[in-house]
Structure 1
Amino acid sequence: MTSVAVVIACHSEERWDLLLGAIASARAQQPAEVIVVVDHNPALRDRLRTAAAGVTVLANRYTRGVSGTRNTGAEHAATDLVAFLDDDIVAAPGWLQRLIVVFGDPAVVGAGSAIRPNWLRARPRWFPDEFLWAVGGSYPGLPTSTAPVRNVWSAGMVVRRDAFRAAGGFRTEFGKVGDRMKPEDTELCLRMAAAGGRWMFVPEAVIQHAVPAGRDDLRHFVRRCWQEGRGKVAMSALKSGEGLTSERDYARRVLPRAVAREMAAAARGRGADHLRRAGAILFGAGLAGLGAATELVASRRH
């Protein structure tokens, strides 16, 4: 029987209630072990060791950042598979079992979940579905049934432990820490696929990602789109795989159709929100392009 450990990365006591919810949802999947790794926060580590009975609590062995935090948990795991959750994620019933199924194919090295945003306040009416990735959610254009993909997101990701370790895990110098937002999960997927593996997207496996106040406004949207452009160019510079073909295809195929749809709805008198969403798509795409250009210029200076 395939064994699985669930690794939950955390760093701040500000998310305490969300973290307890993530732990409870992970334990409900009945994995072999739930491992919570704390990113350089001794007070949070000690509090968890008291409050989270039956859970392994570790400190990040690497420099600060989510990449080293996840690597620490994966290195501790002694299971066939390792699943990753974040401290603001709740896994739906059956999440883990639905993901495990695809590992019956020995060519599969990893799998990912559908991510539904859990808006803790009302979702802004101007916010387009095509930019749900800006709040950590799945978006139109992804497969609607289980299918191979270039990459999945680390929140809700499951990997073969041996393949993950052979690839060296997440790059500890590349990822999310502080205000830096670089796609360490995409970069990992490209490296593992380049070694001969296959990634699967399993939309029936669902997790919910909390979207609190401060991540549901225009300021976050602007920052996240700009950072996405910078991060993807930085990832491409690492030459980890096929580069940015998926991003270019999304920009050329999905976004123009979305703008046309929203503009047509506005023209038919269905409300100004459609016009606002069309504007948000164009604005967000422009910001990502500006971020990409900024990173290109910065990289050439070095």
Structure 2
Amino acid sequence: MPSLTLSVCIVTYERAEFLQRCLDALAAAPESIDEIVVVDASRVASSPESGGIPLRYVHAPELAGHMTRSRNRGLLSVRGEVIAFLDDDVTVRGGWGPALLRGFKDSGADATVGRTCNGLPGEEEYPREIGRLLTDGSLTDGFAALRREPCEVDHGIGANMAFTREVLCELGGFRDDYPGTALREDTDIFLRVKQLGGRSVFLPDAIVDHRPAPHVKGARFDTRYKLYGRRNHFVLLARYEGWRSRRLRSWIVGQFRGVRRVTGLRRRLERLAVVAVGLAFGAGAALRQARWNPTPARRSGRAAERLRRALSDPNRSAVSP
């Protein structure tokens, strides 16, 4: 089988120091990486260095606060047959690129998620199945788990995920309407791959270290994060199986049951408020964005068709020597 070409796409916003650290790690482990595309929504353009790996830098300040739109902008420039997305606050370990391409070749997968380590004690031990959508509508993670062999998953993590060019073309790119923290935009695209009949695989040898950078607006796990998290999860389930989804109903019930497990009256009331507002927020969004039956995996509209044209362009189907 001929070698696959690999494009790495990184979206960033006001984190030039973290971006350069990410690029330095790629430059230190350049094997199999054919090009890097950076989409920077910062107010002021920067001059990142990639250590000799061909770099396309796209300055798009109009995309500030819209991570998935930045991902789609990057898809207009990539040329590889495999397209990997990295967060700007990760660093790849040696052998990341070869392990990624080997995983695609060996498994025939349409999408992959690599091992993403957060430096947390015990995270390499995970007793549940990795990356599964459960019958109660919740998700398992475990993307830092140490496994000997690749395994099939339902969804992945945006910090270290990759797709074939063909499947991204068929999907029409990412759905760009998961607002706020953009939580679940990565889950969404993996579930859409599954809707098409495609396969997603966890690759334990394609490893990155994830050291979350500070958010430009708000903080991780603050009230805003929790509200948008519930809103976006509601929309995700409603789209995947439609409004009649049993998973959606089970998940809603589970959210209220979780309130009862909180100790202390004040904390319980705070949790109840976040759940109620988040679910109402999600229900309102789902009325506009979902339907009774599952939403088709393939995006429609001018933006999606523009992406399809770019991804199917034979002049952009291979990295220039």
TM-score (norm 1): 0.67
Q: Does residue 1:291 correspond to 2:278, yes or no?
A: yes
Question: Residue 32 and residue 298 in structure 1: after superposition, are their counterparts in 2 closer, same or farther (change >3 A)?
Answer: closer
Aligned counterparts of 2:105 and 2:242: Cα–Cα separation in 1: 25
Aligned counterparts of 2:211 and 2:118: Cα–Cα separation in 1: 6
Aligned counterparts of 2:98 and 2:56: Cα–Cα separation in 1: 21
More strand by share: 1
TM-score (norm 2): 0.64
Matches within 5 A, 1:211-222: 211-212=212-213, 220-222=221-223
Q: Could you tell me which of 2, 7, 28 is aligned with 1:5?
A: 7
Letter in 2 for 1:89: V
Matches within 5 A, 1:1-302: 1-12=3-14, 15-27=15-27, 28-30=29-31, 31-39=33-41, 41=43, 43-44=44-45, 47-48=46-47, 51=49, 54=52, 55-60=55-60, 63-64=63-64, 65-105=66-106, 107-117=108-118, 139-140=141-142, 145=147, 146-172=150-176, 174-175=177-178, 179-212=180-213, 220-239=221-240, 245=247, 287=274, 291-297=278-284, 299=286
Aligned counterparts of 1:198 and 1:192: Cα–Cα separation in 2: 7
Letter in 1 for 2:172: G
SS at 2:24 equivalent: helix
Query: What residue ranges of structure 2 are gaps of 5+ in the alignment?
Result: 122-127, 132-139, 290-321
Aligned counterparts of 1:62 and 1:240: Cα–Cα separation in 2: 33
8 Å Cα contact 1:222-1:284 kept in structure 2: no
- Between 155-164 and 238-247, report the one with greater CA deviation: 238-247
Question: Residue 164 and residue 289 in structure 1: after superposition, are their counterparts in 2 closer, same or farther (change >3 A)?
Answer: farther
CA deviation map 1:115-157 (0-9, x unaligned):
22258xxx9xxxxxx9xx9xxxx95598753211111112110
8 Å Cα contact 1:4-1:33 kept in structure 2: yes
Letter in 1 for 2:155: N
8 Å Cα contact 1:228-1:288 kept in structure 2: no
8 Å Cα contact 1:229-1:288 kept in structure 2: yes
Aligned counterparts of 2:114 and 2:285: Cα–Cα separation in 1: 34
- Between 155-164 and 99-108, report the one with greater CA deviation: 99-108
> Displacement of 1:107 after TM fit?
4.4
CA deviation map 1:74-100 (0-9, x unaligned):
232221101111111111222232222
Question: Residue 94 and residue 301 in structure 1: after superposition, are their counterparts in 2 closer, same or farther (change >3 A)?
Answer: closer
> Displacement of 1:188 after TM fit?
1.2
CA deviation map 1:136-184 (0-9, x unaligned):
xx95598753211111112110110121112101123x135xx343421
Question: Residue 168 and residue 219 in structure 1: after superposition, are their counterparts in 2 closer, same or farther (change >3 A)?
Answer: closer
Aligned counterparts of 2:172 and 2:142: Cα–Cα separation in 1: 31
Aligned counterparts of 1:289 and 1:299: Cα–Cα separation in 2: 15
> Displacement of 1:220 after TM fit?
3.1
8 Å Cα contact 1:153-1:185 kept in structure 2: yes
% identical aligned pairs? 21
Query: What residue ranges of structure 1 are gaps of 5+ in the alignment?
Result: 124-129, 260-274
Aligned counterparts of 1:96 and 1:289: Cα–Cα separation in 2: 44
Question: Residue 298 and residue 76 in structure 1: after superposition, are their counterparts in 2 closer, same or farther (change >3 A)?
Answer: closer
Aligned counterparts of 2:246 and 2:57: Cα–Cα separation in 1: 37
Letter in 2 for 1:6: V
Which residue is 1:271 aligned to?
none
Aligned counterparts of 2:228 and 2:202: Cα–Cα separation in 1: 24
SS at 1:25 equivalent: helix
Question: Residue 107 and residue 245 in structure 1: after superposition, are their counterparts in 2 closer, same or farther (change >3 A)?
Answer: farther
> Displacement of 1:292 after TM fit?
2.8
8 Å Cα contact 1:143-1:201 kept in structure 2: no
Letter in 2 for 1:48: S
